[in-house]
Amino acid sequence: MAQTYTYSLGKKKTASAQVKLFDGKGDSTINGRPLGEYIARKDLFETIFAPLKLCKLDDKTYFTVEVQGSGESSQASAIAHGLAKALSEKDVANRPVLKAAGMLTRDARKVERKKPGLKKARKSPSWSKR
């Protein structure tokens, strides 16, 4: 039985999360694993569920996510971004709430590239006059 869902793509740094948001009760999964198994830190749970709590839909919807790239914190932020986009696409009434909270804006900060002649992106080698 094919269930209808709202699809969205969330990103942060190099993390990319493909979110499918379903109506009704069900178990949310990340990369085919239960949520609690994939994420251990409590603050990341709060990050992920923030858009659902703002729209008061945390007990009325569930989601499946395919996420890759970056670290666990950026992956959680990418999932939250994808959920926020899916919620605003699903119901236009959710958009102003999510927009005011800044959840629809993609965090465009990325790692700056290393420049030639420097040790890192901006750190230069020690300089001595003599």
**Domains of the chain by start residue, with CATH:** 6-100 (3.30.230.10)
Tell me what pLDDT residue 105 has. 95
In sequence order, the 6+-apart residues with CB closer than 8 A to the CB of 4 are 22, 23
Tell me the one-letter amino acid at 89.
E
Which residues, in sequence order, are bridge partners of residue 30?
Answer: 33, 65
Q: pLDDT digit string (tens) for 92-112?
A: 999 999 999 999 999 999 999
Q: pLDDT digit string (tens) for 9-48?
A: 999 999 999 999 999 999 999 999 999 999 989 999 999 9
Q: Which two tokens stand for residue 58?
A: 């945390």
Among 55, 122, 129, smallest CA distance to 86 is for 55
